[in-house]
Structure 1
Amino acid sequence: MASEPQGGLTGYIQHHLNHDVVSLGDSAFMKIHVDSLLVSFVLGAVFCLWFWLKARKATSGVPSKGQAFVEIIVEFVDTQVKDTFHGDRRTITPLALSIFMWVTFLNTMDLLPLDAPGWGVKTLAGDEAAHHTFFRWVPTADINTTVGLALSVFFIIIAHGMKAKGALGFGKELMTAPFHADNLVVKIILVPFNFLLNLVEYLSKPVSLAMRLFGNMYGGELVFMLIAGLFASWLSFLPGVLFNTAWAIFHILIILLQAFIFMMLTIVYIATAREHH
């Protein structure tokens, strides 16, 4: 990212909305946002390493502050799963914990200085390199990231539905619910309507997950960009810091809330998929 606004406020924001892209072809589906992928994988690895180290050093005696903090998070997530999912939660709780912590980590990147990548490039390579370098480090403000997360949850939901009802039972439910009929002819007539309603219901789940998370994080990132662009000069540096700090404090609630909502909706969708109609 550039460390200085180019072409006024509009140019500053437009520049900061660019991704570091690698094109594998002419199609839009062949363009990879390297910054989102890199940050997502690094933060995922940090989360796994952190919890693995705490689990490895866990003691049954008086826990350290780090172990106690991790235990509080695990117990909090497990309580949410237990209250929502009434079944064997041995695989659900780890999934919910991974989603909550990973999305929280991804969202928290929004609290880091917007121009930090540009400052680093400018220091190492100069102004011209900084102007042509793009690096957005809030993966959840990238629609590709949230869609990827939502699609992963979608396939997990389908897998749970098939595991609970069997492949044939799952397919039968798509054709025979929610409208039931005893008459065979009526039942056949209702098949396309049932399938269409179930298709819309299932497809709406990843769409709602992806768009809710993306919309909130993208909007929050735009506010940070707007504040930074408006207070870019040295004369207004202090007001900019104050406004950014105030928005960051409020934004912490959004960061945690969006991670919590994503986790809870995942649990609810899995529980619903396992129910027999």
Structure 2
Amino acid sequence: MAASEGTHALDPSEYIAHHLQNLSTHPQTSIFDIHVWNLDTLFWSIVCGLLTIIILGLAARRATSGVPGRFQCAIEMLVEMVEDQSKSMIHGSRRFIAPLALTVFVWVALMNSLDFIPVDLPGRVIGWLGLEHALPHHRIVPTADLNGTIGIALGVLLLMLYYNIKIKGAGGFVHELLSAPFGSHPVLWLPNLALNIIEFAAKTVSLGMRLFGNMYAGELLFLLIALLGSMWTFGANLSVLGFIGHVIAGTVWAVFHILIVFLQAFIFMMLTLVYLGQAHDTH
């Protein structure tokens, strides 16, 4: 099990708390504190974003009309899947939205896939490099941080507002906010506006919370499974069950988590398309 300050062995609670702590600019003192920046979340989000650009850029450059390779086939399958989904939801130009959905899927899938890295490996690497004092905490899964997922969801919210104004015009969008869903009578303007604001807020929060909840739970389960392995003392006693449980549970959960990683990326992409498709519709 990891040690704190080089000598003190962490108990299970300290072990989990240590691995769930982000590398922040300063400690967070309230539920909402805009001055706190989780540097590890920002770093790995940017790394995965750049990797997404590189992967899709290589696919575009290496595309050929001849017999495609495995890489091109995989990207073409993704493009076809995203195009089919966007075609059924977006009633208008998809020139920007379809590539956006593809980028969102690959980006979120890459960030989720960082959860496959063994939970203690980042700490081991930091220790080998002698950076344990500079980097006392480090989480490498951006989507297991609520700040990261809500940040992406806020980007989707801005796109929803942009397309509502672009498709309906500023006046049309304001009219829809005041007249839907109960009607355009002036008495109903305030209830309509309140409900529409709540709807936009609920979409944003639920989009970020759904991804965060699934990835955070997966990360926590990996930590609990890692603790099973620490129970094994190499003795001829029941502690060997900890090692057996560690191997079996770790293998089963890792295989199942592959589905969760890509399913959550797919759901996030689909909800993005749904919300942008709703922005193209008028009441």
TM-score (norm 1): 0.91
Deviation at 1:8, TM superposition (A): 1.4
Is it true that 1:266 corresponds to 2:272 in the alignment?
Answer: yes
Written as runs of structure 1 = structure 2, the 5 A alignment for 1:99-248 is 99-125=104-130, 129=132, 133-181=136-184, 187-233=185-231, 235=234, 236-237=242-243, 239-248=245-254
Are the structure 2 counterparts of residues 82 and 132 from structure 1 closer, same or farther at C-alpha, using a change threshold of 3 Å?
closer
Distance 1:238 1:137 in 2: 27
Distance 1:58 1:136 in 2: 36
DSSP-derived class of the 1:32 partner: coil
Are the structure 2 counterparts of residues 276 and 219 from structure 1 closer, same or farther at C-alpha, using a change threshold of 3 Å?
same
Maintained 8 Å contact 1:122/1:130:
no
| Between 96-105 and 16-25, the greater mean CA deviation after superposition | 16-25
| Between 191-200 and 241-250, the greater mean CA deviation after superposition | 241-250
Are the structure 2 counterparts of residues 143 and 220 from structure 1 closer, same or farther at C-alpha, using a change threshold of 3 Å?
same
Distance 2:199 2:128 in 1: 51
Deviation at 1:24, TM superposition (A): 10
Deviation at 1:238, TM superposition (A): 5.4
Deviations 1:159-196 (A, max 9, x none): 00101100111011101111125xxxxx1111101111
Aligned to 1:184: none
Maintained 8 Å contact 1:118/1:130:
no
Deviation at 1:233, TM superposition (A): 4.9
| Between 19-28 and 42-51, the greater mean CA deviation after superposition | 19-28
Aligned residues: 269
Deviation at 1:4, TM superposition (A): 4.5
Task: Provide the aligned C-alpha RMSD in A.
Answer: 2.2
Deviations 1:56-102 (A, max 9, x none): 12111111211111111111111111122232211110111011111
Deviations 1:232-257 (A, max 9, x none): 25544454233212101111111111
AA partner of residue 256 (structure 1): F
Distance 2:134 2:43 in 1: 21
Deviations 1:15-60 (A, max 9, x none): 1111111249988311111111111101110111111012112111
Are the structure 2 counterparts of residues 238 and 207 from structure 1 closer, same or farther at C-alpha, using a change threshold of 3 Å?
same
AA partner of residue 60 (structure 1): S
Aligned to 1:276: 282
Distance 1:105 1:88 in 2: 27
Distance 2:3 2:228 in 1: 12
Greater relative contact order structure (CA < 8 Å, 6+ sep): 1
Maintained 8 Å contact 1:121/1:130:
no
Deviation at 1:130, TM superposition (A): 7.3
Aligned to 1:72: 77
Long gaps (5+) in structure 2: 235-241
Are the structure 2 counterparts of residues 4 and 71 from structure 1 closer, same or farther at C-alpha, using a change threshold of 3 Å?
farther
Maintained 8 Å contact 2:228/2:245:
no
Greater helix share, structure number: 1
Aligned to 1:253: 259
Deviation at 1:152, TM superposition (A): 0.2
Maintained 8 Å contact 1:142/1:214:
yes
Deviations 1:105-157 (A, max 9, x none): 1111111110111111222329xx37972110010000000000000000100
Long gaps (5+) in structure 1: 182-186
